[in-house]
Amino acid sequence: MTALLEARNIGKRFGGVRALQAVSLTIQRGEIYGLIGPNGAGKTTFFNVLTGLYPRDEGEVIFAGSPLPLGEPHRVAQAGIARTFQNIRLFANMSARENVMVGRHARSKVGVAGAVLRSRAQREEEAAISRRADELLAYVGINARAGDLAKNLSYGDQRRLEIARALATEPQLLALDEPAAGMNATETAALRGLIVRLRDDGFTVLLIEHDIKLVMGLCDRIAVLDYGQKIADDVPAAVQRNPKVIEAYLGTTA
C-alpha cells in the first residue's frame, strides 16, 4: 500500500483555544481510516482544515504526492478530496439530480462562452453530466427521487444524496463526517454496506463517527483525538485496549 494522504503537524487555533495541536496522520490508499474522539476533540475542525474551509495555522498536507492547497476549498475538491457534513448541507432548493450535477463542476471543462452560446460541446457535456448524476444516484440507491427537491427527501436519503454529490467530484479520498448520526439500526446497516462497497470500488474513506461499534467493525485503522491532540493511531483492536483512549472516553478512575 502507498500513502494517499499525509498530514504533517496540523495546528489550528480559535482565539486562545488550540483546537488542533501538531496532528499528523497518514492514510493509505484503499483503506477505511477512522477518526474518533470525545465531543469537542477537534475531529470536525480537522475535516474543515483538510477540505479548505478553515485556514490552518500550522502544518501541511501531502495528498497523492503533492502539497494540498489548504484554504482554497474549490482547489482541494479539484485535487480529489470530497466530504459530507455532520449536519447535512445540501442545496435545499435544487433537485437531487441537480445537487449531484453541481458536484460534477470540479470535473467539467466547458467555460463561460460555451455555456452562453450553448455550443455542441457544452450540450454533450451537459448530457454526460446528467447521465453520470443518475448513475451516482442509482449507486447510492435513491435514483427514484432524482427529480425531487433535496429538502423534500427523507433524512436517510439526504445522507445518501450528500455521498452521491461528493462522489460526483471523482474524489480519491471521501471524507464522511458522522454519516450514521441520527440513523436507526436498519439505516446504519445499509450505510455500512455502502461504505464497504465504496472501499471495494477503489475509494479511500476517512470516517468520523461516534458510533464506536460501526467504526471498530469497519475501519482498517483508527486515530483518536482528544483536546486537539492525537492520542492513538493503530488498528481497531489495539485502539480499543489503549489505556489513554479509555481514559479519554471514560475519564480517569481516581
Partner 1 sequence: MVVPYKPYGQLALLVLCLPPYRIIRGVDIFLQQVANGLTLGSIYALVALGYTLVYGILGLINFAHGEVVMVGALTALAASKFLLAAALPPAVVFVLAFLLAAAVCMALGIVIERIAYRPLRNAPRLAPLITAIGVSIILQQLAMMLWGRSYHAMPQLLPEMAFALGGVQITVIQLVIIGVAGLTMAALLVLVNRTRLGRAMRATAESPSIAALMGVDANRIIVLAFLIGSALAALAGMLVASNYGIAHYNMGFMLGLKAFTAAVLGGIGNLAGAVVGGLLLGVIEALGAGYIGDLTGGVLGSQYQDVFAFFVLIGVLVLRPAGLLGERVAERA
Residues at the contact surface with partner 1, assessed by CB under 8 A? 51-53, 73-74, 76-78, 82-83, 85, 89, 91-94, 98, 101-108, 110, 112, 115-116, 118, 122, 125-126, 129, 165, 168-169
Angle at the Cα of 152 from the Cα atoms of 151 and 157, rounded to 5 degrees: 90
Nearer to partner 1, 53 or 190 (CB): 53
Query: Greatest CA span in the chain, whole angstroms?
Result: 72
Backbone dihedral region for residue 52 (phi beyond 0: left; psi -120 to 50: alpha; all else: beta):
left
Least Cβ distance, residue 162 to partner 1 (angstroms): 10
Least Cβ distance, residue 108 to partner 1 (angstroms): 6
Least Cβ distance, residue 29 to partner 1 (angstroms): 22
Q: CA of 2: how far to CAs of 16, 36, 70, 143, in Å?
A: 37, 23, 22, 35
Least Cβ distance, residue 41 to partner 1 (angstroms): 22
Least Cβ distance, residue 170 to partner 1 (angstroms): 10
Nearer to partner 1, 166 or 183 (CB): 166
Nearer to partner 1, 70 or 129 (CB): 129
Of 200, 198, 199, 218, the residue nearest 208 (C-alpha):
218
Nearer to partner 1, 164 or 245 (CB): 164
Q: CB neighbours of 220 closer than 8 A, spacing ≥ 6? A: 28, 31, 32, 33, 235
Separation between Cα atoms, residue 174 and residue 83, nearest integer Å: 6
| Residue 208 near residue 214 (C-beta atoms within 8 A) | no
Q: CB neighbours of 228 closer than 8 A, spacing ≥ 6? A: 12, 18, 19, 20, 21, 23, 41, 42, 45
**Beta-carbon-side half-sphere exposure of residue 130 (alpha carbons within 13 Å):** 8
Q: CA of 141: how far to CAs of 163, 192, 199, in Å?
A: 11, 14, 17
Nearer to partner 1, 162 or 226 (CB): 162
Nearer to partner 1, 177 or 211 (CB): 177
Cell 441537480 sits at which residue? 98
Least Cβ distance, residue 115 to partner 1 (angstroms): 4
Nearer to partner 1, 118 or 131 (CB): 118
Least Cβ distance, residue 198 to partner 1 (angstroms): 18
